[in-house]
């Protein structure tokens, strides 16, 4: 009976370092200063790290403001006991407006139907609810164009039960420090707010991770920390120009274990399509993961993993549940040895940005892929 109750876990594990998360939050908070609120972006299941788990860790170290994409995420956080302000950034279905009152959530609005539904819900509950207006000052995505803002603001002022608590926008190129669009869009943002008049005293926020780190004059009253919170630099950098204590720390690592070690003669094709053929006697470590686990086919014959603290290249096409690493130059590799796909082993490290380069994407997608497709284990040496 005891053996039947033993927990069975996958060999493929995403490890989440809560200590690194705390370090990053404190580093960002210190950098923006005491007069600026840090909104922790925990949408997308906290970029694959686990939304409710990480929100609880952040709350424990002083975070009081969280950002999500959809209403269902915000309600999930409240039901998990997360307090503070929770912003819903992508709008909502009008018949769900009452949920903002029931769960004390902050809506970001950009449609007439949004403010109408919120007003009616607030009146029914005998309360007032503050809304944040979403501007499109050059992102080309959600929001109101600057010319539409004055009339929309008047509409908010005319409706009972709601008031304008803040204005936000987004920067499309803040991860590129020299991008000409960033100061131009920020100027548009400021000018649009100025046209609201002296009566507007709400919160302004436009700074994503890029602007938070690289454009201090754009912090306003609040910044929205996303990828930086999870230990990646928006421009794909490493932070080597910073003192060790000031650098961001990666929160996620991804490991597996060797399933089999095989010796193949020269001229052996590896995996589907024989896209790699050995040119010498080759020792291959077979790994029990593939594109089902977020380790995409794009990494075929491109990716590398760490075994015994050394890099081993991926050979052949990645399968749904298997891939192969060349360990010919790494002595002593055995079945069961730990393999690091993302993270550090001894002195070697593979970063999310490096994997993103092999895949032709960005670190955000790498983290979401790995975190949302594998069992997560939380490492925490401090509460």
Nearest to 88 by CA among 74, 102, 103: 74
Q: ∠ CA 42-47-48 to the nearest 5 degrees? A: 115
Nearest to 221 by CA among 260, 174, 189: 189
Pairwise CA distance, residues 128 & 114, whole Å:
15
| Residues classed as catalytic | 43, 272
| Contact yes or no for 377/343 (Cβ under 8 A) | no
Pairwise CA distance, residues 188 & 168, whole Å:
12
Query: Crossing angle for the helix pair 51-60 and 18-32, nearest 10 degrees?
Result: 60
**What would the two tokens of residue 90 be?**
């992508």
Contacts 24+ apart (CB under 8 A), 294-300: 294/369, 294/370, 294/372, 294/373, 294/374, 295/323, 295/341, 295/370, 296/359, 296/369, 298/358, 298/359, 298/360, 299/323, 299/355, 299/358, 299/359, 300/271, 300/275
Q: Who's near 94: CB < 8 A, 6+ residues apart?
A: 113, 114, 116, 117
């Amino acid at each position: 009976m005891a053996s039947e109750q033993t927990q069975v876990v996958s060999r493929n594990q995403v490890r989440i370092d809560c200590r690194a998360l705390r370090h990053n939050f404190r580093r960002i908070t210190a950098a923006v200063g005491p007069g600026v609120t840090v909104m922790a972006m925990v949408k997308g299941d906290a970029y694959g790290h686990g939304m409710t788990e990480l929100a609880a860790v952040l709350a424990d170290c002083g975070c009081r403001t969280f950002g999500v994409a959809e209403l269902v995420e915000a309600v999930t956080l409240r039901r998990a006991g997360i307090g503070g302000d929770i912003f819903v950034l992508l709008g909502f279905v009008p018949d769900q407006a009452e949920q903002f009152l029931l769960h004390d959530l902050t809506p970001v609005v950009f449609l007439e139907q949004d403010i109408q539904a919120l007003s009616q819900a607030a009146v029914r509950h005998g309360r007032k609810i503050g809304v944040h207006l979403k501007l499109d000052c050059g992102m080309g995505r959600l929001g109101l164009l600057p010319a539409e803002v004055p009339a929309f603001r008047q509409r908010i002022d005319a409706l009972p039960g709601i008031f304008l608590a803040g204005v936000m926008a987004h920067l499309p190129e803040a991860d590129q420090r020299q991008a000409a669009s960033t100061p131009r869009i920020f100027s548009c943002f400021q000018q649009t707010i100025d046209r609201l008049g002296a009566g507007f005293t709400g919160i302004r926020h436009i700074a994503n991770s890029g602007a938070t780190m690289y454009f201090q004059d754009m912090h306003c009253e609040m910044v929205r920390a996303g990828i930086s919170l999870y230990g990646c630099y928006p421009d794909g950098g490493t932070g080597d120009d910073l003192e060790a204590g000031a650098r961001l720390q990666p929160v996620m690592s991804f490991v597996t274990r060797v399933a089999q070690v095989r010796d193949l003669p020269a001229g052996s094709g590896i995996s589907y399509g024989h896209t790699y053929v050995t040119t010498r006697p080759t020792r291959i470590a077979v790994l029990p993961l593939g594109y089902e686990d977020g380790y995409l086919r794009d990494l075929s014959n491109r990716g590398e993993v760490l075994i015994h603290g050394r890099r081993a290249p991926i050979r052949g096409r990645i399968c749904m549940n298997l891939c192969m690493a060349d360990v010919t130059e790494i002595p002593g590799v055995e079945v069961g040895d730990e393999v690091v796909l993302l993270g550090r082993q001894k002195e070697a490290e593979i970063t999310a940005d490096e994997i993103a380069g092999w895949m032709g994407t960005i670190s955000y997608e790498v983290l979401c892929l790995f975190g949302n497709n594998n069992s997560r284990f939380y490492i925490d040496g401090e509460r």
